[in-house]
Amino acid sequence: MPPIYVKPENALKRSEELLALGTPQSQQQAFENLVEVFQSKKFKHTPVAILEPIVFKFLDLCVEMNRKAHARQALLQYKNAVQTTSVASIEKVLNYFIAQAESRLTAATEQAKAEVAALPENPVVDDELPLQPTALLLDTFVDSVGDRERIERRLIAPAQKFCWDAYDISLDIAKSNDRLEVIYQSVAHRAFEFCKVHQRKSDFRRLCEQRLRKDLTNAAKYGHQQHAINLSDPETLGRFLDTRFLQLETAVELELWQEAFRSVEDVHGLVASGKKVAKPAMMANYYEKLTQIFKAEGGKQTAVFHAAAWTRYFQYAERAGISNEKAPGSVLLSALAVPLGEVETKQRLIALLNLPKMPTRESLVKDAASKHAKRVPADIRQIYQILEVDFQPTTACKNLAPLITSLAPEYQPYLPALREVVLSRLVQELAQVYDTVTLSHILNLVKPFDNTPWATEKSSLEKFLMTACRRGDINASVDHVAQTITFVTSNAQPNRLSDLAIVLYNTIQYLNPAPVTSRADAFAAALAQAEEERKQIAHRRQIVNKRRELMEEANLRKQREESTALAERLKIKAAEDERKAKEAAKQAEVDRLRKQMDDARRAEAEQLAKQLADKGALKVDIKNIEDLDSSKLVALQVEQLAKEKREHAERLRIVGKRVDHLERAMRKEERPLLADDYEKQKVEDKAAHERLNVEAKLLAIQQQKAAVDLKARLGRMLPDYITARDNVESQREAEFKIARERARAKVDEEKKKLRDRLVERKRAEKAQREKEQREIEERERREAEEAEARAAEEAARAEEEARVAAKIEARNAEAAERAAAAKAAREAQRAKDLEDARARIAREEEAERRRAERASGAGTYRRPGAGGPGASAPSPAADSGASATAPTPAFAPTKVPGGGGGWRERAAAKAAAEANGTASPTATPSSPAPAPAPAAGNADGENANATPASGGKWVPRRGRGGGALPPSGGRTASGRGW
C-alpha cells in the first residue's frame, strides 16, 4: 500500500505544533515530517507561495541541527522546482539560508564571549572529580590548552564550519546559471568577507581553486547550453571582474601571495576574453595589486616588473582621477631601484602587465623622468639628478647621505635596492678610470653613509662585490690578501682613443664655448618651438580621437555581424539536428524490428537446443553458434554422440592393453625377490627394535640423574624462600587491610551519592512518565479521530478496488485457460520427442551389442585349462553353461572366493602346493575347476588354451577379440584376477 500523501501546508502546521513542545524528540519528528514533503513526487507541482514557508522552516531546522547535507538536497530540489517560474524566490531562500548561518555564528561568538568573561581569574581544579570522556580526549590530543580555547573550540568552531558550508552550498546551487548569476556573485563577496574577518586562509584557497575557478572553467566549457553564463555580456563580465578584484584584494590582505598571483591571472584572462575594455579605475586597482605582489614575491628578480606595474598603475589612475600625490615619487623611485644588470625575460609576467615587450631599466627611468620629474618631491628629484644625470664618484655619496634620511616613510622600502644601485654605479665609474682600486679607498668614498640606513662595512662591501660579479654587473676580481679589487677589461670593449677624443672635445667646448644667441632671440625661439609642439599635440589628439571613433564603429559593426552569423549558424545547426534526429529515429525503429526478429529466431533455436541437450546430452556450446536452427542442432547431436562413442572405445582399448602388459611384467619381476625381501625386512626390524630399546634406557638414566641434582639444589634454597615468603605475606596483608578500609569508606560514600541520584532520577522519571502519558492520551484521541476519517476513505477505496479486482480476476482466468491449453500441447509434443529419442537410442545400443558379439567370436569368455595332472575334463553341462554366460569385459576386475591375504600368505600357499605336488604351478590353493575345452568351431581355440609342458603357464593369444580370459573367480599364479 503506498504511503499516505500529506499536503505540504498540513505538514508545516504539524511541524510547528511539534516544535512548540520544545523537546529534542519533537524537533526530530518535525524535521522528519518536512523531509517527507521534499521526498514527495508532488513536490514540483506545489505552488511557490506554499513551498517558501516550508523551505524557510526546514532551513531553520537544518541550521539548528547542523544538517548541511539535507539543506543542500532541499535547496537543490527547490531550485529545480521553481527555477522556471520564480528566480527571485531562489535568491530569497539562499539569502535567508546564509543569514541564518551567520546569525548562528554571531550567537555562538556572543555566547563564547560571555562564558569567557564568566571564567574565574584563578580557576580551581578539583582532582577528585571524575574525568569526562570529552575532556579526557581533549587533554590527550591538545597540549596546554586553556579554558578560553576550549570554549571557543566548542562553540565557535562548529558555527564557523557550518557558515562556510552554507556559502559553499549556495555557490553550488547558483553556479552555471545566468538567471542566478547575481546571487552567485553576492554570495562569493560574502564568503570573501567571512574569510577575511575570521582569517580562514585554507577556506579561501579552497573557495578560489575548487569553486570559483572551477565554475568559471565549466561556464566557458558548457557555454552552448541553455541559461549558461555569457561572458560576452558586458554586465556579466563586469560582475565577474568585480568578484575577481575583490578576490585579489582579499588575497593581498591575507598575505596569500601565490593565490593573489593566480587571481591576477584570472583577472587578466577575463580582461583578455572580454570584448569591452575594462574601466580605468578597475585596471588601476589591478596594477596596484600587481605592485604589491611583485614586491612581496619577486625581490630583485622582479624589481623591473614592480616598476613597470607602478608605471601602468599611474597611467590608469590618472585617467580615472584617483591618483594620489605620492604615486609619481613611487614610479620614479621604483624605476631607479631596478638593478643595473640584465634581467631574465619572463613572458608570463609581461603578458600580465599587458606590455608589448620586456621592460628595461633605461626605458623605465627615461619614461618616469620625462613624465614625473617635475611632480616628485625635491629630494627624489635630486636623487635622480645625482644617479642618472651627473654621477660623480667622489661626491655622490656625500650628496646622497642627507637625501636618504629625509625621504618620506612611504618611500623607505626602496632604500635597500637603491643602495645596491648606488654601489654598482660607483664601482662602474671607478672601473672606467682605474685598473686596480683598494677596498679602503671605496670605503672612504661610502663613509658619508655611516650614520644612515646605507651604512657599509668592509664585510658587507666584499659581499656586495662578489654578488655583483656573480650577477655580471661588474667584471672584476677581489684580492682578499692585498685588499684590492682589479677590474678586467674585455677585449670587446671599444678603443680608448674614441673615449679620449670625446673627452677632449668636451674640454675644448668648455674652455672655448661657441657664441650663443641673445636672450630675446632665445626666448622667441622657445615660444615658436612651444607653439609648434602645441599644434603637433592638438593634431595628435585629433588623430587619436578619430581612431578611437573608427575603432568603436568597427567593433559595433563586428558585433552586429557576429550576432547575425551566430543566429544563422544556430538556425542551420537546428535544422541539421532535426534532420539527424529523424534519421536516427528511423534507423532505430529498423534496428529494433530486426533485433526482435533475430531474438525470436534465436529463442526458438535455443529452446530446441535445450530440449535436445536434456534428452541426448548435447555438449556443444550453444552460445557460440550463430544462425541456429533445428536441423543443424540435430546434426550436431548425432555427430557429437558418434564422436564420443569412437573416443570412448579407443581409450578403453589402449588402457586395457597397457594395463595387461604392465601388470604382467611387474608380477614376473617381483616373484623371485619376494622371499629375499621378507628375510631382509625381518633382520632390519629386529636391529631397529634393539637400538631403540638401548637409547630409551640411556635417556631414562640421564633424566633421573638430572632430576636428583635439581632436587638437591632446590633443597638448599628452601629455608631462604620460606623466610622471604613470610615477610612478603605479612607486608601485603597489612597493606591489604589499609586499602580495604579505604575502599569500604569510599564505597559507602559512593552508595550514598548513588542513592541520592537514584531518588532524584526516579522523581524526574515519574514526572516525565506522567507528562508522556498525557501526551499519549492526547495523541490517541487525535489518532482515533484521524482513524475514523481514514476508515471512511478506506471503505470507498476498498469498494473501488473490489470492482477492479473482479475485472482483473476475469482476465486472469481467461489467460490461465489459454496458458493451460498451450502447456498441454507442449507436453504432448515433448512426450512424442522423448519417445522417438528413446527408440533411436535403443536401436543404437542393439546395433552396438551385435557388433561386439561379432568382434568377440563365439561371444563367451573361457578359463584356460589346468596344466597339472589330475585335471578332469569339463562336463557337457558346464560347457553349455559357460557358452550361455554373457561375456565379461577384459578390463573388469574379478574377486576370488575365499582368497585374499598378503603376499607372504600367497607365497606360503604356493610353496605348500609345490611341496605336495597336487596342483599345477599356475593354480592357486583356492582356484576352481579348470575351464572347459574350446568349442569345436573355434579354429584358434587349441593354440589359445594350450598349456606348455615346459612351464605350465597360461599364455593368452595375440589380440583381444577372440581370446579367452579367466572367468569370475579365476586366479593367476600371484593370486589376483585379471
Q: What is the DSSP string of 851-911?
A: HHHHHTTTS---PPPP-STTPPPPPHHHHHHHHHSPP--TT-----TT----HHHHHHHHH
Give the confidence band of 928 by pLDDT, cuts at 50, 70, 90: very low
Among 202-211, 278-287, 556-565, which stretch is predicted with the lowest mean pLDDT? 278-287
Q: Does residue 60 fall inside a structural domain?
A: yes
Backbone φ and ψ of 436, nearest 5°: -135, 135
The pLDDT, as a whole number, for residue 728 is 93
Pair (63, 170) in one structural domain: yes
Average pLDDT for 132-150: 53
- What's the domain range around 572? 530-582
Alpha helices in 199-233 (DSSP H): 201-206, 213-221
Give the confidence band of 299 by pLDDT, cuts at 50, 70, 90: low
Pair (149, 14) in one structural domain: yes
Condensed to tens digits (0 to 9), the pLDDT of residues 430-440 reads 887 888 888 88
Q: Does residue 326 fall inside a structural domain?
A: no
Helix, strand, or coil here: 747?
Answer: helix
The pLDDT, as a whole number, for residue 925 is 38
Among 264-278, 361-375, 587-601, which stretch is predicted with the lowest mean pLDDT? 264-278
The pLDDT, as a whole number, for residue 615 is 59
Pair (19, 167) in one structural domain: yes
Pair (444, 564) in one structural domain: no
Please state the domain count of the chain: 3
Q: Does residue 588 fall inside a structural domain?
A: no
Condensed to tens digits (0 to 9), the pLDDT of residues 377-401 reads 888 888 888 888 888 887 888 888 7
Q: Does residue 716 fall inside a structural domain?
A: no
Global confidence as pTM: 0.43
Using the predicted structure, report yes or no on whether residue 156 has a pLDDT greater than 80.
Answer: yes
Give the confidence band of 896 by pLDDT, cuts at 50, 70, 90: very low
Alpha helices in 254-279 (DSSP H): 257-273
Q: Using CA of residue 237, residue 238, residue 243, residue 249, what is the dihedral sign? A: positive
Using the predicted structure, report yes or no on whether residue 949 has a pLDDT greater than 50.
Answer: no
Give the confidence band of 691 by pLDDT, cuts at 50, 70, 90: very high
Pair (37, 144) in one structural domain: yes
Q: Name the more confident of 277 and 936.
A: 277
Q: Where are the beta strands (DSSP E) in 60-150?
A: none
Contacts 24+ apart (CB under 8 A), 558-567: 559/275
Domain final residue pick, 544, 561, 582 = 582
Question: What is the Cα–Cα distance from 621 to 631, expressed in whole angstroms?
Answer: 16
Average pLDDT for 138-151: 55
Average pLDDT for 414-419: 81
- Please, is 369 exposed, middle or buried when counting C-beta atoms within 10 Å of its C-beta (0-12, 13-18, 19+)? buried
Pair (156, 57) in one structural domain: yes
Q: How far is CA 457 from CA 424, 446, 468, in A?
A: 16, 9, 16
Query: In 3D, which of 55, 57, 51, 47 has the Cα closest to residue 17?
Result: 57
Pair (401, 534) in one structural domain: no
Question: What is the Cα–Cα distance from 438 to 457, expressed in whole angstroms?
Answer: 14
Query: In 3D, which of 288, 330, 295, 279 has the Cα closest to residue 312?
Result: 288
Question: What is the Cα–Cα distance from 170 to 185, expressed in whole angstroms?
Answer: 11
Domain final residue pick, 128, 153, 174 = 174
CATH of the domain at 456: 1.10.10.10
Q: Does residue 115 fall inside a structural domain?
A: yes
Pair (72, 167) in one structural domain: yes
Backbone φ and ψ of 916, nearest 5°: -75, -35
Q: Name the more confident of 31 and 884.
A: 31
Pair (165, 57) in one structural domain: yes
Q: Does residue 283 fall inside a structural domain?
A: no
Average pLDDT for 707-721: 90
Q: Does residue 892 fall inside a structural domain?
A: no
Pair (24, 158) in one structural domain: yes
Q: Does residue 640 fall inside a structural domain?
A: no
Pair (449, 577) in one structural domain: no
Pair (456, 569) in one structural domain: no
